[in-house]
């Protein structure tokens, strides 16, 4: 089981449009410093799944028939925008596992095309050819699921978007040995904004769930700069993700 972070930015991304700070200028000049829409690719043997569909070039990146399915965390545009073009393709249906949501985003439910939306209830695990998947309810402004992926002795928790964890979710995760937790961290320490974690929230979640490794994603402009200016503030098992990072 291998996870590749396709994008690690929040909705605004990095560089921030219109910003001319030195870090945005550097990101304009170097693709390696950019952060695009938060999403990931999960490879299981010869199968390829997406976790969220915020990348807008899905039809270029994934030839017809190459995707075994898509796990959507929620229906905010920066997590589903790649579906609007993909759906008009032809060929086999692509299963899209989603949290319960009556509205979705724009007209995706009305005109799904080749997307086969499959609502899943929180904590009700299902199996896909040896991969155990458990949707985990998160705390966000829209119905949102994280996912616990289990194959053999390897366990990956992918948790975005969220502001902290509910008691029920933290208790569930604490019962598992989590090899890798990829988690939303959008804001600098001390930020009191809702909907997404700041770095203080990550330290609390770390204590609550005790994962072996934590990789931060959904990183906002100000946090990106803070991390560059404070390179020694994270414990060894917590690192900032970057676009293209491969985790296995």
Can you give 222-234 as a three-state secondary structure string?
HHHHHHHHCCCCC
Helix 199-209 / helix 167-174 crossing angle, nearest 10 deg: 50
User: Is the distance from CB of 241 to CB of 216 less than 8 angstroms?
Assistant: yes
Q: Which domain holds residue 171?
A: 2-247
CATH code for position 194: 3.60.15.10
- pLDDT (mean) for 31-49: 97
**Residue 248 scores a pLDDT above 90:** no
Residues 6+ positions from 223 with CB-CB distance below 8 Å: 185, 186, 187, 188, 198, 199
Task: Calculate the average pLDDT of the chain.
Answer: 97
Whether the pTM exceeds 0.95: the reply is yes
Sheet (strand 47-51) strand order: 115-119, 94-98, 69-71, 47-51, 39-44, 2-7, 246-247
Confidence class for position 241, pLDDT limits 50, 70, 90:
very high
Is residue 6 helix, strand or coil? strand
**Three-class secondary structure assignment of 39-101:** EEEEEECCEEEEECCCCCCHHHHCCCCCCCEEECCCCCHHHHCCHHHHCCCCCCCEEEEECCC
As for how many domains the chain has, the answer is: 1
pLDDT by residue (tens digit) across 43-91?
999 999 999 999 999 999 999 999 999 999 999 999 999 999 999 999 9
- Residue 218: Cβ within 10 Å count: 30
pLDDT attached to residue 14: 98
pLDDT by residue (tens digit) across 161-213?
999 999 999 999 999 999 999 999 999 999 989 999 999 999 999 999 999 99
Is the bond preceding residue 185 a cis peptide, omega within 30 degrees? no
List the one residue out of 80, 20, 1, 2 whose CA is nearest residue 245. Answer: 2
Confidence class for position 155, pLDDT limits 50, 70, 90:
very high
**Residue 23 scores a pLDDT above 90:** yes
pLDDT attached to residue 30: 97
pLDDT attached to residue 48: 98
pLDDT over 90, % of the chain: 98
pLDDT attached to residue 218: 98
**Residue 129 scores a pLDDT above 90:** no
- pLDDT (mean) for 95-106: 98
pLDDT attached to residue 74: 98
- Residue 150: Cβ within 10 Å count: 20
CA angle 234, 235, 237 (to 5 degrees): 115
User: Is the distance from CB of 193 to CB of 187 less than 8 angstroms?
Assistant: yes
Buried b (16+ CB within 10 A) or exposed e, 35-58: bbbbbbbbebeeebbbbbbbbbeb
**Residue that has been written with the tokens 């990348």 in this structure:** 55
């Amino acid at each position: 089981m291998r996870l590749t972070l396709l994008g690690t930015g929040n909705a605004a991304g990095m560089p921030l449009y219109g910003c001319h700070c030195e870090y945005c200028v550097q990101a304009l000049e170097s693709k390696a410093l950019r952060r695009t829409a938060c999403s990931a690719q999960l490879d299981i043997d010869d199968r390829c799944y997406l976790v969220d569909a915020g990348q807008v070039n899905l039809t270029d990146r994934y030839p017809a028939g190459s995707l075994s399915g898509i796990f959507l965390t929620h229906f905010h545009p920066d997590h589903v925008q790649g579906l609007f073009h993909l759906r008009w393709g032809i060929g086999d249906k692509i299963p899209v596992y989603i949290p319960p949501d009556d509205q979705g985003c724009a007209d995706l439910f009305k005109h799904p095309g080749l997307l086969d939306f499959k609502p899943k209830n929180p904590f009700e695990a299902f199996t896909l050819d040896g991969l155990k998947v458990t949707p985990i309810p998160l705390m966000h402004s829209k119905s949102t699921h994280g996912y616990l992926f289990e194959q053999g002795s390897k366990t990956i928790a992918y948790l975005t978007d969220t502001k902290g964890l509910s008691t029920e979710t933290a208790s569930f995760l604490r019962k598992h040995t989590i090899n890798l937790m990829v988690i939303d961290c959008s804001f600098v320490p001390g930020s009191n904004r809702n909907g997404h974690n700041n770095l203080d929230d990550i330290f609390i979640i770390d204590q609550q769930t005790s994962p072996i490794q934590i990789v931060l994603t959904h990183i906002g402009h100000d946090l990106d700069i803070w991390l560059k200016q404070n390179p020694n503030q994270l414990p060894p098992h917590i690192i900032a993700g970057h676009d293209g990072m491969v985790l296995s």
